[in-house]
Amino acid sequence: MGWLNIGSLLLGLIAWILPVIYLMRNKKHEHKNWGVLSVISVSACAMAISFQIFYNYHLVIIKDWTALMDTTRAVVIATAVLLVFTFILNGLTYIVYRQSKK
């Protein structure tokens, strides 16, 4: 079940890296796939959060209340940060896309 945490971390990084890649490639005027990258980014964010929920469910099933109590605050903060930055980065890609279409 520890793989859920690693998968969550990797998916969270993917959720952030994809919009950054788009923003860095923006200078080449390739705007065809901004929507696909944004959908994949938000999907990776959702999957990362789901993995954390599954891991918390696993802790409940095995009745590891101490681990659950110790990690819940960090998971909530990490989830909020992941969501906020994913939406900000994807919002920036949308703004850049709209400006490039003018």
* pLDDT tens per residue, range 8-35: 999 999 999 999 988 887 665 566 777 8
**What pLDDT does 30 receive?**
61
Give the CB-side neighbour count of residue 3, counting CA atoms within 13 A. 1
Inter-axis angle of helices 65-101 and 34-61, nearest 10:
170
Please name the amino acid found at residue 15: A
Q: Is the pTM of this model over 0.95?
A: no
